[in-house]
Structure 1
């Protein structure tokens, strides 16, 4: 009997410990966006979603997700992306628990990351987290400037965010393509079919690669990046048109224009799927 009581006591202590841990990491609605009580109550019609789902009924607002060190890294990259793109302060909110495989950037100026998405990205390394942070911040760029994106096809918003992400990784994180391309291994698993809002995996790879190449030798204002990205992507990558002589946009230096032109055939082959995922990782 004493043994049974002892086991029951241990179980009670364990349950209380789990509850305390969750409660310690569970924020009140005062610390949530717009006083929303639960992530599951967020509407997604005024947000750009990294996947297509909202947050589940068992999700909750958290002080950290996955673990404290991973959350700290996410916050660092989020803030660096905000600074890099000139966005100032962009609040970041964290959704813990089940049903949180998403990250959302909201038109009223904040970003929400889910624990399951962060844990999945972490499997691909910190560079994947940095990339997604930049992708979500790119949506803030688009929300705040109604001239961006200047492309008008169904995948323009998401493909440009992929391009901004590649550009950010090249300028702030690594100049090693193999490391940078590894970040994209995670994102391409979330691509859609041809003609979807997120674009195909091959299209997203090509957009990421173009953004990375634009960052090789240059930095741009957000509007100039947008102009350059869609000039090359829409006319010479997406549609597969090559010309012997391409007119240099006024928003890019001659040397950088020549650098992109030298990679246009490669970019087309990435977008069409002719260059495989493995070959993509091993590009120079």
Structure 2
């Protein structure tokens, strides 16, 4: 009987510990945007979505998501991206629980990550988290400068954010293309149909690859990255113009231009789908 009571006591302590841990991580005031008591109450009309969903009714504001070490890595990459793109302080909020497969960048200057999205990105490796952090920060660049994106097609906002992500990965995370491409594998699983705001998987791959290549030999102001990205993307990656017709933009060095020109046929084939997902991973 004493042994039975002891087991019951242990179970009660265990349940109380789990409950306390959840309550400690469930923050309603200290780590939430002002006046928003639950992630499900966010006005997603003022945000660029990583996926098409908002946050579910069972989501909650959290101090950490997935686990503390993964959250710390996310925060490091978030801050690195903010610094890299010259954004200063960009508050990062965390949504825990069910119905959190999204990351959103809000026009009033903050970013929210969901636990389910972070867990899914982590399954592809830390590089995928770094990439998504840069993609969301790219939207902050767009929010703060009304000349960006300069492209005017339906997918311009998201494809440029993919380009910003590739550029960030190349400049701050890795010069190994296989690692970079693996980071992008996660994102392309979230692509939309042709004509959607997020672009198709092949369109997103080509945007990411172009951003990565732009980062091969140099850095740019945000506006110059935007100009260069859409110059090459619209005129060759999409349009398939001949190399001989492609003049160097004023905002890029000759060596950088030559590097892009050397990859133009490849970029166009990525865009059209002639280069498969497997071939994409094995590019130089």
State the Cα distance separating 1:27 from its structure 2 match: 1.3
Structure 1 match to 2:210: 210
d(CA) in 1 for partners of 2:100, 2:7:
34
- Secondary structure in 2 matching 1:33: coil
d(CA) in 2 for partners of 1:185, 1:192:
14
Spell out the pairing of 1:175-194 with structure 2 (5 A cutoff): 175-194=175-194
Structure 1 match to 2:51: 51
Matched-pair contact (CA < 8 Å) for 1:29–1:38: no
Structure 2 match to 1:167: 167
Spell out the pairing of 1:4-153 with structure 2 (5 A cutoff): 5-153=5-153
Stretches of structure 2 lacking an aligned partner (at least 5 in a row)? none
State the Cα distance separating 1:242 from its structure 2 match: 2.4
State the Cα distance separating 1:13 from its structure 2 match: 2.5
How many pairs were matched up?
284
TM superposition score normalised by structure 1: 0.97
d(CA) in 2 for partners of 1:243, 1:160:
22
Structure 1 match to 2:250: 250
d(CA) in 2 for partners of 1:147, 1:93:
27
**Deviating runs (4+, > 4 A) in structure 1?**
1-8
Stretches of structure 1 lacking an aligned partner (at least 5 in a row)? none
Deviates more, 1:5-14 or 1:218-227: 5-14
State the Cα distance separating 1:8 from its structure 2 match: 4.2
Deviates more, 1:131-140 or 1:4-13: 4-13
Structure 2 match to 1:156: 156
d(CA) in 1 for partners of 2:44, 2:4:
50
Deviations 1:195-248 (A, max 9, x none): 000000000000000000000001000000000000000111122232423111
State the Cα distance separating 1:43 from its structure 2 match: 1.4
TM superposition score normalised by structure 2: 0.97
RMSD (Å) for aligned C-alpha atoms: 1.2
- Secondary structure in 2 matching 1:31: coil
Matched-pair contact (CA < 8 Å) for 1:47–1:107: yes
Deviates more, 1:167-176 or 1:4-13: 4-13
Deviates more, 1:241-250 or 1:176-185: 241-250
d(CA) in 2 for partners of 1:58, 1:241:
50
Residue 261 (1) aligns with residue 284 (2): no
Deviations 1:13-52 (A, max 9, x none): 3321211011111113243112311111111100001000
Matched-pair contact (CA < 8 Å) for 1:127–1:179: yes
Deviates more, 1:21-30 or 1:170-179: 21-30
